[in-house]
Amino acid sequence: MKYSCWSLLGLMVLLASAAGAQWKNIAPNWVHQGSMCGAMQYRDGIVWAGGDRSLWSSSDVGLTWQQSTSFPVAKIFDIDFYNRFVGLVATDSDVYRTTDGGRTWTISRADGDLRKVGFGNSSQMMFAMDYDGTFFTSSDGGQNWSPSVIPIDARSFAVASDGAIYIQATTPSSGSDPLGTVIASKDFGRSWSSGGQTFQFDCYSLSVDSCNPKQLCLVNEQIDATSAAGTGGIFVSNDGGISWNQVDSHPAPYFSGALATNRDAIVVGTVDGNNIRRSMDKGQTWNSIGGPALGSDNRNIAVVDDNIIFAADSTGSIWLTTNGGGDSASYTGPFSTTILSTDSLFANDTVRCDSLTSAIYLLGTGCRPPDPSSIQITGPDANSYRILGWNRDSIQVVISSQNPGPQTATLVVTFEDGTKQSATLGGYSAPPHALSFDASTLTVKTDTIGGEVAVPIKILGLTHPENVELVLHYQLPNLVYDSSVDRFGTKVDLLGEQWPGRSKLLIRNDTPGTVTAYAKFKVFSDTVFNPQVTFDSVEIPTEAVPCEYSPPPAVTATIYPLQGCTAPILSRWIHLGEKPLLRINPNPTSGTVSITSDETIGGVSIDVYDMLGSLRAQIPATIYAAMPTILTLPMESGAYYVRIVSSAGVQSVPVVINR
């Protein structure tokens, strides 16, 4: 049976509540029990219980129960989980499968009165059997099934550690009742042995020892027998079902048919209250450990360990004992050995701003290696470590210290045979290398409208050449982004990562202490504000370990364009094609006109040309926005061009003088 770690809090609460009581009814009338149905199972910290119309589970030692609402209304005959996620349930019509711990269920095998399900040596190898004696095998996780017809009635099967499959079946006899026998297959049900010694046929459960694949146990209820034999018993075989020894017997009705095991204990249910039976010596001797009366032909017992046992009675109430019904037992041997796979963890590991997880494996020899009974972390830096989880196969340890320097501690594992082993925890905690931008290079100027500038990008703090990703943001007024290039002139903008006002860069092999790249812009003076470029979101995709570097805070570069009272006009004229709007009124004129502009142009020269291109007048003036400039033209009647020359450019307006 797979082993898992209990919630210590849940177990402590439960043990406290059960003090003074050997069995406790923890869920009265919880799982509806119909005629000859019901099953329970424990696997990887989860107890499952099903009956006539519902399936329930508990992950806290029975303190709370959750219904699997996606499971259909059906009679449940058997439950088997490979681990806490993958499981099968046999019902009176179908086999249902889950791969997500019971949140959802799908029909894996339809059509049949399915009485038993099980797994082979992987979660993909599945078995099922119906009441009429057809054995089904799936090697693809229940997608497809291959049938093998057993020409006799069959109720139960068990899968041994060596892959052998044993079926408890019936065979015709000359008497009024058929006889029982066990047949075996070593090829996943393609062929079967003829069976060995016979026994009374009315048997519902069969188990195989997890250590010895030839050691079998079954319960003969003898409730349905028509003959006068009327005695039920427990039978044990040490040769794979060839021969059997009866090790316990009681006048029927007594045994319920329920049988459950772990690595040490075999537990059998009865219909006689206060008489659940347990063996701690492979079925050779049996003791009553109290407990409720079970209905007949069900599998309503779940064994967690030698002393923690669940049982569902004929009313659907779930009972629990944590001390073997008052007869606490512990395995005393013979143990083999369990050793740790390594004598140190994290010896070459450095943790920075996150945590690291590593596992130490438990290597057992023989059939019964001792399990860990307690795990402790000791030493000066024990608080830097914690146990993430453990089972009979491995221990997961996490280091998450933020204190710099060596983190010295020791992992001490105590096994159930009293032996101890230890491993050194030798991780090292180092702060990440802090990165920053060199702000001294982040001010640039230009004296040309539309001139190009290159904003240098220099990152400080790298310990060796790295690839660097970062994002630049820029203000759209006054700036036109061209691209960013590394020091060799190669563009570093990532394709598909550019939007107006933003671009993501990937700079390869950034050398520490050098300008790594340049962001190139054309700069205009459309507004009176100085544009800014911000660099942020730095990542180092080539860092050797997580959090080797801490990203720098964002930094902003300021670009100073050409300034002056007419610079915005000229800039918008050059950049956007927006000229100041000049008007001359009246036109035609008798000689005096007013000149207005929607922009302040400042000092200008007003040059008047005749149609032959001769300069006829040149008048200095100052033009302000929306303020008329009065001009008297001293020429005779005719057509002229008035040309207004300013630092923002030249505009010409035709004028007609009519004196």
Q: Is the pLDDT score of 612 beyond 90?
A: no
C-alpha of 418 from chain center: 37
The residue behind tokens 């569902």 is 312
Q: Is the pLDDT score of 13 beyond 70?
A: no
Q: Is the pLDDT score of 647 beyond 80?
A: no
More confident residue, 84 or 105: 105
Identify the sign of the CA torsion 491, 492, 494, 500.
negative
What is residue 1's predicted lDDT score, i.e. its pLDDT?
33
Q: Which amino acid is at 426?
A: G
Beta bridge mates, 260 = 267
Quickly state the pLDDT bin for 17 (edges 50, 70, 90).
very low
Q: Is 385 exposed, middle or buried (0-12, 13-18, 19+ CB in 10 A)?
A: buried
* CB 196, CB 241: distance < 8 Å: yes
Q: What are phi and psi of 533, to 5 degrees?
A: -125, 130
Average pLDDT of the segment spanning 138-146: 94
* CB 116, CB 96: distance < 8 Å: no
* CB 354, CB 546: distance < 8 Å: yes
Report pLDDT digits (tens) over 511-554.
898 898 999 999 998 888 899 999 999 999 998 877 889 899 99
Beta bridge mates, 356 = 399
**CA–CA separation, 641 and 89 (whole Å):** 100
* CB 318, CB 302: distance < 8 Å: no
The residue behind tokens 């996606």 is 70
Average pLDDT of the segment spanning 10-24: 51
In the β-sheet with 629-632, what is the strand arrangement from edge to edge? 582-585, 592-597, 629-632
Tokens of 89: 């349930």
Q: Which amino acid is at 541?
A: P
Q: Is 617 exposed, middle or buried (0-12, 13-18, 19+ CB in 10 A)?
A: middle
Nearest to 640 by CA among 653, 651, 649, 628: 653
Strands 638-646 and 517-523: unpaired
Report pLDDT digits (tens) over 231-281.
889 999 999 999 999 999 999 889 999 999 998 899 999 998 889 999 999
What is residue 568's predicted lDDT score, i.e. its pLDDT?
79
What is residue 441's predicted lDDT score, i.e. its pLDDT?
67
Average pLDDT of the segment spanning 220-238: 77
**CA distances, 395 to each of 345, 360, 372, 389 (Å):** 11, 5, 10, 6
C-alpha of 221 from chain center: 47
The residue behind tokens 């007024």 is 477
Q: What is the CA radius of gyration of the chain?
A: 44
Report pLDDT digits (tens) over 311-330.
999 899 999 999 999 999 88
Report pLDDT digits (tens) over 332-382.
778 889 999 999 999 988 888 778 999 999 998 888 888 898 999 999 999
